[in-house]
Amino acid sequence: MPLVNISKRIHREVNNFFETAPIDLNNPILLAISGGPDSLSLLYSIVQLRDKFNLNLHGIHINHLLRGKHSKADADFVMGEFKKLQIPFLIKNFDVKLFKDHHKFSLEEAARKARYAIFEEVAQMIGAEVVFLGHTADDQSETVLMNLIRGTGLNGLVGMRQLSKGKSIGGVFLINLARPLLEFTREETETYCKEQDLTPCLDLSNLSSEFTRNRVRNDLLPALELFNPNIKGSLIKLSRTLRHDVDFLEERVDNIWPIVVQDKKSRLIFQKKTFGNLHSSLKNLVVRRAINLIKGNLDNIQFFHIEQMVRLIEGETGKYMELPGGIALSVSYKDAIIAKKMIDFCPFPVIDKPFNVNIPGSTKVDNWRVNGSIITAEDNRIKSDYIAYFDMDSIKCSSMMVRTRRTGDIFQPIGMRSSKKLKNFMIDSKIPSAWRSRIPVVESEGKILWVVGYRISDWAKIQEKTEKILALSFCSDQ
């Protein structure tokens, strides 16, 4: 293709992006510029549209402090470009090696996490909702191949999108990542720079074999070109083809999500029966979305993690699985919970202060109800961790209350002749420490009657001579 056409093609594509992308052009736009040919092409192709779209442009350059005077030279170069184009800017210095050593990341992962954390910080500071990046088709082919090597699902094979919308690395601020040059090759951005009389920086770290992406770019892709000279094009074609399939499936997930998953803010609850009826492809996508919502990103989550979670949700009660990033999955009889903190797995309500129980009747606490009724020995009794039955003659209903544990509590579990400290009972019952202050305790006349979800007291158990039975149940309203 003649060199003269590249600038026109890039300008036309970037113009089309601004005309069609669902972003608010009234808000500031943040341009992430490294100084290389890709980002320089991004910068100048957007600047030439500044007046047409009345764009409020801001620049950001991150010095990772990895290449000494060369990093400083790149920062000075980009600063000069921003000044020349009259774009307000920030130059951020970030010690990536120190960050890497502190968090035990690889250097490549540390640099990426640092970049996106800074993008988030600066975007919030200036009120921007979109960060423009200079990723090209070459970056796309490398990303797809790297994801394939690591083991990925359909989304990983789609790679990057021209506009990505979702939670940032911090998991709080909603940030858009725009890549209008994603359809152009690195060779084309270099040609653009020549046509525009631009002299981009040369980052020698791109030749280092320390980074996985560099090894894929400099070693693996050239080797694959021996089998398929157009391997990059094939990877990009795969990405485009699967993008449509994934978009269709994501629409299906949108439709079934409210039926399958309950959103409790800090945790997500899967309805096991409904989840089990889904097609296997939708199961994977539902779990993937749940991880992304709780964790804030999908860093270090591989396809086998998602497959394991699906198997657990459909499997036996009582299973537990931890995932990279501090989140976990816990499976019970009717549902499965994914959450970030152990306390978020606790099924019980928050009890701020003791409350009396209506017998017979219903008492509301948080999003739960405590139901009390009197039955006879001949009536059917349902087995559940949240339902307990007591000898009516052994207890005094008027003094019955529900509270949480107190220092010095003692308890005589059913089957034991003597009492033990409630603290020791909870430890012996393997109740997670984060839950222990949340477990409801039912007492009558100052004595513990039931540690809800675990054991009733021996002194209030049903006996052969029992005629009247008190049935207590804890039921969630949701």
Per-residue pLDDT tens digits of the chain, which is 478 residues long: 444 589 999 999 999 999 999 999 999 999 999 999 999 999 999 999 999 999 999 999 999 888 888 889 999 999 999 999 999 999 999 888 888 888 888 888 888 888 888 998 899 999 999 999 999 999 999 999 999 998 788 888 999 999 987 544 444 445 799 999 999 999 999 999 999 999 999 877 777 777 889 999 999 999 999 999 999 999 999 999 999 999 999 999 999 999 999 887 778 999 999 999 999 999 999 999 999 888 877 877 888 899 999 999 998 777 778 888 778 888 877 788 898 866 677 777 788 888 888 888 888 877 788 898 888 887 878 888 889 999 888 888 878 888 999 999 999 999 888 899 999 998 888 787 778 888 899 998 889 999 998 999 998 888 888 888 999 988 876 6
Q: Where are the domains of the chain?
A: 4-224, 255-345, 355-476
At 255 the pLDDT is 96
Q: CATH assignment of 355-476? A: 3.50.40.10
Under 8 Å CB-to-CB from 208, ≥6 apart: which residues? 214
User: Helices 186-195 and 37-47: crossing angle, nearest 10°?
Assistant: 60
**Rounded to an integer, what distance in angstroms lies between the CA atom of residue 364 and that of residue 134?**
56
Contact assessment for residue 39 and residue 33, using Cβ atoms and an 8 Å cutoff: yes
The DSSP call for residue 217 is: I
At 477 the pLDDT is 66
**Rounded to an integer, what distance in angstroms lies between the CA atom of residue 401 and that of residue 449?**
10
CATH 3.30.465.60 correct for 255-345: yes
CA dihedral 343, 344, 347, 353 (to 10 degrees): 60
Q: How far is CA 12 from CA 18, 104, 384, in A?
A: 10, 43, 66
At 478 the pLDDT is 60
Helix/strand/coil percent split, the chain, to 5:
45, 20, 35
**Rounded to an integer, what distance in angstroms lies between the CA atom of residue 44 and that of residue 61?**
15
Contact assessment for residue 370 and residue 473, using Cβ atoms and an 8 Å cutoff: yes
**Distance separating the N- and C-terminal Cα atoms of the chain:** 62
pTM, whole model, 2 decimals? Answer: 0.72
At 43 the pLDDT is 98
Q: Which helix (H) or strand (E) holds 371?
A: strand 368-376
Contact assessment for residue 307 and residue 284, using Cβ atoms and an 8 Å cutoff: yes
Can you tell me whether residue 267 is helix, strand or coil?
strand
- The class level of CATH for 4-224 reads alpha beta
Length of the chain equals: 478
